[in-house]
Structure 1
C-alpha cells in the first residue's frame, strides 16, 4: 500500500511461542503463516512490520510447560534458576539462528543499526536479539560475554519477579506507585558491563527504585521498551511523569505497550479497549518525553491485545488513528520506526 508505514517494534514474544509450541509437539510455521501467533512472516509483510527487538524470555514454569496454565497461579512469577534460564535462553537463541539460516532472504539477525536499516531496505525482517530478564546470566557475567558474541544487543534486567540483579514490578493497579526494591550490587555491575559492551539496558519491568538506580549509574539513554504512562493507566508496570521526565533528559525512549491492562484507566483485562485509549498514552508520552522519545513496544505474542488491533495486521489501524488524530507523517514515522533506530544507534551502534 502506498500509505503503509514501516514499523520497527520494541518488543514481542513470538520466539517464546514458537519454542513452547515445539516442546509441546505443536509445531508452528512462522515463515508460511501461523494464525495462533500474533506475528508471522506473511502478516508482518502485509502490515508493514519490518523488524524489532525479539525477546528471549524464560517463563517461571519452564519445567512445567505441559501443565494447564492458570493466570492467577503465583508460580507464574516464581524465580528461575540460572542454569534452567541459560538452557532455555540458548535453545531460543538457537531457534532464532536456525530461522535466519532457513529463511535467509526473509529474516536477518542484526547487531547494529546499519544492519537493521540494510535489512529493512532489502525487505528482510530485521531482528535484534533481546533477553527479557537476566536470570540466564551468571555472577561472573561469562554468559553475558557469550550471548553478546551470539548477537545479544538488548537486555531487560528483570521480568516481573526478583533475580540476582534486581526486582521486578508487579502487574497490579497501583494509583500510588510503590517504589519496591532496587538493583542489587551485582545488578549495578551488570548495567556497567552492558554499557561497555554496547548492550541496550531495558528498564521495562523494573521497580521504580530499580529505575532510579539505573538512572543514577547509567551514561546511556534511559529506555523502557514496552511501558506506558502511569498518569493514564495506574498500573505498576507503567511509568510516572517523573520517570518520563528523566527519560527525556537522558535522550531516551518509551515504547507503547499494547497490553489492555496497561492501557486502561481501570487496568482491567478487557479486549474491548479502543485504539483511542492507545492515543491517550501516545499524547501523554509525547508531552512528557517529546516527539523524539516515543515509539512502539507492542508486546505481541506476550499480551492481551485490544480487539481493534487483533494481531500484527492491526498496525495500519493504529497508524490510521494517528493520522485521524492529527499526527503528521514525520511524527508517525518517528513513532513507528525512526525513534527506535535513533536510540539504537546511540546504544548498540
Structure 2
C-alpha cells in the first residue's frame, strides 16, 4: 500500500540530535522515519517539516536556514533513493523512476514573520506548506493552545482571536507564491480567517476530530472538517495519542489501531471520503502508536481491512486523496 505522509518532525529531530550522530539514512536509526523504514512502509511521499519552538530559539529564520541546508544535505546522501520535490511533475517523475518524494514544509510562522523576503527565500528552497503558528502567539496570529503539549494537562483551549493584520498579509503572499497554509496549530478564529482570506484549498496536515477527542484543542470541530472538505482540503490523521484518545493523560501508552480507526470513521462520516489523508507527526510523538514507526504502516492497512474499511477507501486515505490534492494545488 503506497503511503503519502503530510507531516513529520524528522528534520528537526536530526538537527537537534546532530551531536548524537542522528542520520536520516542510518539503517538502524532511533528515528521513527528513516530511509529504511520508509522503504519498508512503501512510502511514495514524505513531507518534512522545518519545526522550531520560537520561545527557545534566538533567531528563528537563521535556525530555519540551517535546517533547510541540513534537509538538502540529507537528501543528497541518497539522491538515487529520495529526492526533493517542488512541483507535482517532480512527484510523477520520482514515482516513475522509483524514488521517494521529499516535500518541505514549515511549522511556526515566526520563521518568516519578520520579512516577506524570508518567506520568498523559503519558497525558493522548496517549502510548499506552512503553518502560521505553533503553540505560541507570534506576530502573525494566535495558536489553538499555549504551552508544551507533552507536559501541560489539561489542554488550554485555543483563542477565538485569529490572524493578526500581518498574518493576513503573509497569507496573501503565500497564495501569491503558491504556498499552502496548514491550519493544524491555528486557533479556532485563525482557522476561520484562513477559510475567509485564502481562496484556494488548504490543509490541516496533522490534526484529528475534536468530536472524538474533545480535550485536544489541536483537533478540528465538525464544522471545521466540513469547511475544509468543501474547500477541497485534506486533514492528515495524526497518530499522537493525545489527539486520538478521549480523556488522555500523560504517561498512557500510544494510540492503538482501534483508536486510529475510530478517528478515521468519524472524520470520513463528517467530511466524506475525499478529505482524509495521513499526517503521522512521527518524530514529534513521545508515545509511539501501535505501528511504532514508518515501517509499520502495513499494520494499519491490515487493521483497517479487518475493521471492514474497503480497500478503495484505505487507498484514498493512504495516498490517493493527498495525491489528488497535490496534483491540483502544488503546481
TM-score range, shorter chain: over 0.9
> Structure 2: how far apart are the matches of 1:105 and 1:173?
46
Q: Judging changes above 3 Å, is the alpha-carbon distance between structure 1 residues 348 and 173 closer, same or farther for their aligned structure 2 residues?
A: farther
Q: Equivalent residue for 2:323?
A: 341
Q: Give the stretch that moved more between structures: 206-215 or 306-315.
A: 306-315
* TM-score, with length taken from structure 2: 0.93
After TM superposition, give the deviation of residue 139 of structure 1 in Å. Answer: 3.9
Q: Equivalent residue for 2:79?
A: 104
Q: Equivalent residue for 1:300?
A: 282
After TM superposition, give the deviation of residue 102 of structure 1 in Å. Answer: 2.1
Q: Does 1:8 align with 2:17?
A: no
Q: Which runs of 5+ in 2 are unaligned?
A: none
Q: Does 1:180 align with 2:160?
A: yes
Alignment of 1:25-40 (within 5 A): 25-40=19-34
Q: Judging changes above 3 Å, is the alpha-carbon distance between structure 1 residues 173 and 288 closer, same or farther for their aligned structure 2 residues?
A: farther
Q: Does 1:216 align with 2:216?
A: no
Q: Does 1:116 align with 2:96?
A: no
Q: Does 1:141 align with 2:116?
A: yes
Q: Equivalent residue for 1:74?
A: none
Q: Equivalent residue for 1:273?
A: 255
After TM superposition, give the deviation of residue 118 of structure 1 in Å. Answer: 2.2
> Structure 1: how far apart are the matches of 2:243 and 2:100?
27
**Cα contact 1:80–1:135 (8 A) shared by 2:** no
Q: Equivalent residue for 1:158?
A: 133
Q: Equivalent residue for 1:21?
A: 17
Q: Give the stretch that moved more between structures: 42-51 or 264-273.
A: 264-273
Q: Equivalent residue for 1:248?
A: 229
1:151-187 Cα offsets, whole Å, 9 max, x none, are 1111111111111111111246569x65432100010
Of residues 181, 184, 196 in structure 2, which corresponds to 1:201? 181
Q: Judging changes above 3 Å, is the alpha-carbon distance between structure 1 residues 173 and 280 closer, same or farther for their aligned structure 2 residues?
A: farther
Q: Equivalent residue for 2:309?
A: 327
Q: Equivalent residue for 1:64?
A: none
Q: Equivalent residue for 1:71?
A: none
> Structure 1: how far apart are the matches of 2:130 and 2:2?
24
After TM superposition, give the deviation of residue 57 of structure 1 in Å. Answer: 0.9
**Cα contact 1:253–1:289 (8 A) shared by 2:** no
Q: Judging changes above 3 Å, is the alpha-carbon distance between structure 1 residues 57 and 174 closer, same or farther for their aligned structure 2 residues?
A: closer
Alignment of 1:31-70 (within 5 A): 31-60=25-54
Q: Say how many residue pairs are matched.
A: 323
> Structure 1: how far apart are the matches of 2:81 and 2:205?
24
After TM superposition, give the deviation of residue 40 of structure 1 in Å. Answer: 1.0
Q: Judging changes above 3 Å, is the alpha-carbon distance between structure 1 residues 21 and 139 closer, same or farther for their aligned structure 2 residues?
A: closer
Partner of 2:329, secondary structure, is: coil
Q: Which runs of 5+ in 1 are unaligned?
A: 61-77
